[in-house]
Amino acid sequence: MKKDWCTITPSSGESGVTAVEFSGGVHYGRYPRSEQVLFKASGDTGNAQVVVTVNQQAKEECIEIVGVSGQSVPAEGGNVQIQGLTNISELYFMLADTISIPENATSQGILALNAVVGYSIPSQTFLRMDDSSEVLATLVGTDTNWYKVSFPDDPGQDTGIQFGISFSVPVNPTAGQRNCCVVLRNADATLYGWTAVSQLPSAVAAISASPQSVTLTNLGAGKVVRVISNEDWEAE
């Protein structure tokens, strides 16, 4: 017998002592849940009943990236869609080149440090994948790149809140690979999740230099310029 999320086995028995097992599916909700099961006995001596309350613990806050741990985009650009699972009430996300994780925070994901951000999220739309409805994320403050979306109540009890973040990556005109991270966290910054996104270098001849201007002292001491090219090169 199954009552809501709780399964009772067996659901009936003969007189005497019977071991009854209660079980439930995985609970992703952020609040505990409970169910009451009524046992009734009837016969020649009359009727009797007893209620058993079954409680299930809540799942700790989670931010999980679903599928591959990182994504690669071709040089000509394309769309990136990152899917994940959470049970928190407010989810913050951003694109970043580096991440600083507080010492007291727990984290999940693949980290790309010292990466170069070659693109940004053009439209801050947060897509709820479970019911295909779109929830607009809002910018947190005026001096931050964090965006926030709220999930009221506890909608992810059985499967968690399945979400997706989508954005477009333009053509990479440079000779080097471009990388960034999509970073997610909870409201008090004690839980982080992230995944790396990389873009292949240009397939056509490309060359870049950094910096593009240097000044030598009167003594002529050397200065270094970093040249990146996907073909052999020479200076003229």
Entry field: residues in the chain:
236
pLDDT at 143 over 60: no
What is the C-alpha separation between 29 and 85, in angstroms, rounded? 12
Highest mean pLDDT range out of 48-62, 102-116, 123-137?
Answer: 48-62
CA angle 161, 87, 24 (to 5 degrees): 90
Highest mean pLDDT range out of 43-52, 88-97, 101-110?
Answer: 43-52
Q: Which residues 6+ apart lie within 8 Å of 19 measured at CB?
A: none
Mean pLDDT of 178-196: 81
pLDDT band at 115 (very low <50, low <70, confident <90, very high): very low
CA 114 to chain CA mean position, Å: 21
- SS3 for 67? coil
Mean pLDDT score of the chain, rounded to an integer?
Answer: 75
The fraction of the chain above a pLDDT of 90, given in percent, is 14
Burial track 150-181 (b if 16+ CB lie within 10 A, e otherwise): ebeeebbbeebbbbbbbbebeebebbbbbbbb
Q: Where are the beta strands (DSSP E) in the chain?
A: 2-3, 6-9, 21-24, 33-43, 46-56, 63-65, 70-73, 78-86, 90-96, 106-109, 125-128, 134-136, 138-139, 147-150, 161-169, 178-185, 191-199, 207-210, 226-229
> In the CATH hierarchy, which fold is given to the domain comprising 63-199?
Immunoglobulin-like (2.60.40)
The backbone torsions φ and ψ at residue 214, rounded to the nearest 5 degrees and listed phi first, read -130, 150
What is the C-alpha separation between 89 and 35, in angstroms, rounded? 23
Burial environment of residue 104 by CB neighbours within 10 A (0 to 12, 13 to 18, 19 or more): exposed
Structure tokens belonging to residue 183: 């970073």
Q: What is the pLDDT of residues 120-141, one digit of tens each?
A: 333 333 333 333 344 445 555 5
What are the extents of the domains in the chain? Answer: 2-56, 63-199
